[in-house]
């Protein structure tokens, strides 16, 4: 059956990438984590001293865009797509708190978004893709056949991100993780360029009380009901 585009948007840490990866694996689709692109620009700027003390000059960030090359590669061991920044696998570094603390401001810069959206559209031009982010259904792929808008209780989201950081050996206080999530939600929904909003034709998925399996089952059923392709 013909391939479709699946756009998943929503608040920070509500399991977008978990669902997107599972859907991509089940359907044999590509998975693209658009947040990883904004995180990569932020990591580059941090490493090159362009972001200092949580501040930066917009022009400096825009200038460094030409020096940033992004690529994605599927890792069969982790069964997941990994991000390469100028040929270096940065998957682990992208989740550091220092990146999370600066990424919303970097992603609010128009020129940054323009470059990332070009890459995202190129990656999705042949369909057969699951992409998650904040503006995928509203802006990157407004014609996506399936759009999901994900949300979950803030404490549950915090616990998930806290556990994820811990599993990567990064110890951060629960309240600090929660503060970062809420601040990013605020910045992502209030910025001028492509803010996070629910697309009119998106299906809302609150997964506060759902297990990963239940969530996947629910969405696969949605796809079947839409008489779309399930391998």
**Considering the rule CB under 6 A, would residue 38 count as an interface residue with ligand DC?**
yes
**Considering the rule CB under 6 A, would residue 12 count as an interface residue with ligand DC?**
yes
**Considering the rule CB under 6 A, would residue 180 count as an interface residue with ligand DC?**
no
For residue 33, the cross-strand partners are 132
**Considering the rule CB under 6 A, would residue 103 count as an interface residue with ligand DC?**
yes
Q: How far is the CB of 1 from ligand DC (least distance, A)?
A: 27
Candidate list 19, 29, 31, 34; residue touching ligand DC; CB under 6 A: 34
Candidate list 133, 157, 158, 160; residue touching ligand DC; CB under 6 A: 133
**DSSP assignment string, 23-36:** HHHHHT-EEEEHHH
Candidate list 21, 105, 147, 184; residue touching ligand DC; CB under 6 A: 184
Choices 56-64, 72-80, 129-137, 146-154 (CB under 6 A): range interacting with ligand DC: 129-137
CA 125 – CA 191 distance, rounded (Å):
27
Q: CB within 8 A of 55, min separation 6: which ones?
A: none
Choices 56-64, 130-138, 142-150, 212-220 (CB under 6 A): range interacting with ligand DC: 130-138
Q: How far is the CB of 52 from ligand DC (least distance, A)?
A: 20
Exposure class string for 111-136: b at 16+ Cβ within 10 A, else e:
ebbebbbeebeebbeebbbbbbbbbb
Residue 98's nearest CA partner among 39, 36, 185 is 39
Residue 220's nearest CA partner among 26, 4, 21 is 26
- Window 42-101: residues binding ligand DC (CB under 6 A): none
**Considering the rule CB under 6 A, would residue 160 count as an interface residue with ligand DC?**
no
CA 150 – CA 162 distance, rounded (Å):
19
Residue 154's nearest CA partner among 175, 190, 181, 183 is 181
Candidate list 188, 199, 202, 215; residue touching ligand DC; CB under 6 A: 188
**Considering the rule CB under 6 A, would residue 151 count as an interface residue with ligand DC?**
no
Choices 20-28, 49-57, 102-110, 149-157 (CB under 6 A): range interacting with ligand DC: 102-110
Residues engaged in binding ligand DC (CB under 6 A)? 12, 34-35, 38-39, 103-104, 107, 133-136, 184, 188
């Amino acid at each position: 059956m013909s391939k479709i585009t699946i756009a998943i948007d929503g608040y920070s840490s509500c399991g977008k990438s978990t669902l997107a990866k599972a859907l991509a694996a089940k359907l044999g689709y590509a998975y693209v984590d658009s947040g990883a692109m904004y995180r990569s620009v932020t990591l580059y700027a941090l490493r090159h001293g362009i972001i200092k003390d949580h501040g930066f000059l917009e022009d400096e960030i825009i200038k460094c865009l030409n020096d940033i090359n992004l690529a994605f590669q599927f890792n069969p061991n982790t069964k997941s797509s990994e991000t390469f920044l100028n040929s270096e696998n940065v998957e682990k570094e992208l989740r550091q708190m220092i990146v999370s603390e600066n990424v919303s401001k970097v992603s609010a810069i128009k020129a940054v978004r323009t470059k990332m959206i070009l890459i995202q559209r190129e990656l999705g031009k042949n369909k057969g893709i699951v992409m998650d982010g904040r503006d995928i259904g509203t802006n990157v792929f407004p014609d996506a056949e399936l759009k999901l808008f994900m949300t979950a209780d803030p404490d549950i989201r915090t616990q998930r991100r806290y556990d994820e950081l811990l599993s990567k050996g990064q110890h951060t206080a629960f309240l600090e993780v929660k503060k970062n999530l809420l601040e990013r939600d605020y910045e992502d929904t209030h910025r001028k360029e492509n803010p996070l909003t629910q697309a009119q034709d998106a299906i809302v998925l609150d997964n506060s009380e759902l297990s990963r399996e239940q969530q996947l089952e629910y969405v696969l059923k949605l796809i079947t009901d839409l008489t779309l392709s399930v391998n």
